[in-house]
A and B are shown apart, each in its own frame.
Chain A
């Protein structure tokens, strides 16, 4: 807070000095940059180094203070094993902040807690002083450096450039971090279970026997049934979404009037905004029983959690992906091609079938692939509506399970992180990631290639 005020002040000072240096408003054209840039320059110098120091300070403060507190403890209390010491330190910290303490509080602990509090307040004060003085010093240096020759604009833009790079790095580094963590855990899994068993095994039963005499714990990690289930559900979803999405896109792009279009398209896109949980309970509580009753009335055996119910609802969910993207690419087909077709005496439907759709096909394919990767990665609907048992079946009326469902069930609840059961989730995640990444790359490639065609 104080720092922000200081930066604002620095901006004002820097700006004013730049004007004074050249002798007021009239001399602005002698300055290299606009006065505001000198202000920003001073403000950034006042703010950034101080912020950096504050950040570093805060990240190390905790461990330094803890070390100091432990050093202050009597020797006999220090010489226990690390686990106990950790508990003790925790107690001291709780005591210091007034929380409930697990152990009996004796005088040494009370003293240690007071010591901790004292150190903390000193630390805060020191931090304030150090940060403010750094800010003042750096700001003053920048302020002094201001002169008509100084290239403030270039420097400010350099710093802004750096900030932008840092922001984009955060997103990229997070992705890299996620991939690496999944990758390493998967390697641990593949140490326990051979890769071929995982990729080609036909049975999925991830219970590991803790004791030799335990029943029902075969520990089979064949991912094939899961992928078959995923593909079945996604296939049903695409069967729903592609025709409906495509036809609504054609209607919106070529038949609907501009007014209707301006209402209908956002409404269709609302479908994409419905939380998947809501779709999930719609599938599980409304659609699945309805399908079961319908199936029974015509003499079919339908499980109450079926691939069909999950697939249908998932299909509805991805309609906006297909229709919105297809609508865009259909609109991108130049009017001149439509005119050419009309001028040859083609009807509207002939024009769409024979000219517009073939021209837009690559883009539509890209949209469908994006929708497919969305369907494959979808979790909530299938958790609620598709079931948990790993059936290797192509019958949409049976319950199936998907990769995402299994990841959820493997990781929900208390887990030990050294068993193959838990690590299997990472292997599944990795596989899923590879598949959807592949689909996305292919889809984006197709879409991009298509876009270039008309530009």
Chain B
């Protein structure tokens, strides 16, 4: 595609999206359904200096279906990377590769190399249990255990033996809830079931639960798709705060959300990583036609 004049296109992400709503309704190109060539090369810089996680030539197969095709991507320290793309593009699948959650699906087969701090996580000798403690995950739908709020948080530290005494455990619970911005709301009812909280509170409880085992990377799979706008705002605020201490990868359907919370954005299309770059660049000056079509709302 032609390189566009940067001066004219330096609009903010918000205006692009607002315009997209007007255009997208009328103009629907067929681009969304056309697959890319198999040897397609990702546009943008996939590598970063001093990455926390580094993926090389990752392929995922569901039985015969080639769900992720030759993806290279680095995930930088203390940064939020957003993964966007139309439904079925493989962004969630890719996310689940990062802590080997795909292992729980029998027909799923992953090839390539994913390194976490220079350790290959798909090494046969590697135990997946400590890996998942290092790379935590927050799911699309809040899924607190049917236990008390306290027990929800204490679950992880208990199974990993992170707290030697009850007092230490209490401290971990308080710290995790405080980091998730939930402590003030629930400190008087820690013994009540976690399922009794509101949706947004449940999701923050799940984030607190993940923080409690002190991971290095937190994966979030559309963490706000089941929440109302106010709860979403709170979770987004939280993600921004968590960036100081953790590396975060977030899958989202909301481009506003990607623009608000992330520093880098990766656009996936039918299993290919099409384009990756700084969030501002992706939303203001996308370099690939598919990225542009998607963020301007022509398809997806």
Q: Mark interface residues in B33-44 (1 if CB within 8 Å of A CB, else 0).
A: 000000000000
Measured in the bound complex, the distance between the Cα atoms of B210 and A359 in whole Å is 20
Tell yes or no: A344 within 8 A of B by CB. Answer: yes
Knowing A345-B129, A347-B129, A359-B146 are in contact, say whether A340-B106 is a contact too (CB < 8 A): no
B132–A358 touching, CB < 8 Å = no
Q: Mark interface residues in A240-264 (1 if CB within 8 Å of B CB, else 0).
A: 0000000000000000011000000
Measured in the bound complex, the distance between the Cα atoms of B131 and A341 in whole Å is 13
B159–A354 touching, CB < 8 Å = yes
Q: Mark interface residues in B193-221 (1 if CB within 8 Å of A CB, else 0).
A: 00000000000001001100100000000
Measured in the bound complex, the distance between the Cα atoms of B206 and A343 in whole Å is 11
Which one of A129-137, A218-226, A294-302, A331-339 is at the B interface?
A: A331-339
Tell yes or no: B289 within 8 A of A by CB. Answer: no
Within 8 A of B (CB), among A128-166: none
B158 nearest in chain A by CB position: A354
Q: Which residues of A contact B229 (CB under 8 A)?
A: none
Write the nearest CB–CB distance from A341 to chain B, whole angstroms: 7
Interface residues on B, range: 20 to 34
B145–A340 touching, CB < 8 Å = yes
- With most chain A CB atoms within 10 A of its CB, the pick from B134, B141, B155, B210 is B155
A342–B101 touching, CB < 8 Å = yes
Measured in the bound complex, the distance between the Cα atoms of B160 and A336 in whole Å is 21
Tell yes or no: B137 within 8 A of A by CB. Answer: yes
A344–B139 touching, CB < 8 Å = no
B130–A345 touching, CB < 8 Å = yes
Q: Which one of B104, B106, B129, B131 lies within 8 Å of A339 (CB-CB)?
A: B104
Tell yes or no: B99 within 8 A of A by CB. Answer: yes
Within 8 A of A (CB), among B163-181: none
Tell yes or no: B245 within 8 A of A by CB. Answer: no
Measured in the bound complex, the distance between the Cα atoms of B196 and A453 in whole Å is 11
Measured in the bound complex, the distance between the Cα atoms of B145 and A359 in whole Å is 8
Q: Which one of B132, B134, B145, B213 lies within 8 Å of A342 (CB-CB)?
A: B132
Measured in the bound complex, the distance between the Cα atoms of B145 and A453 in whole Å is 12
- With most chain A CB atoms within 10 A of its CB, the pick from B106, B144, B145, B160 is B145
Q: Which residues of A contact B210 (CB under 8 A)?
A: 343-344
Q: Which residues of A contact B136 (CB under 8 A)?
A: 343-344
Tell yes or no: A346 within 8 A of B by CB. Answer: yes
Tell yes or no: B133 within 8 A of A by CB. Answer: yes
A-B pairs with beta carbons under 8 Å apart, 28 shown = A258-B106, A334-B143, A336-B141, A339-B101, A340-B143, A340-B144, A340-B209, A343-B99, A343-B101, A343-B137, A344-B133, A344-B136, A344-B155, A344-B156, A344-B210, A345-B131, A345-B132, A345-B134, A345-B156, A345-B159, A345-B213, A346-B132, A346-B156, A347-B129, A347-B159, A354-B155, A354-B159, A358-B146
Contacts beyond the supplied A339-B104, A343-B139: 11 A-B pairs with Cβ under 8 Å:
A336-B141, A342-B101, A342-B104, A343-B99, A343-B132, A344-B155, A344-B209, A345-B213, A346-B155, A355-B155, A358-B147
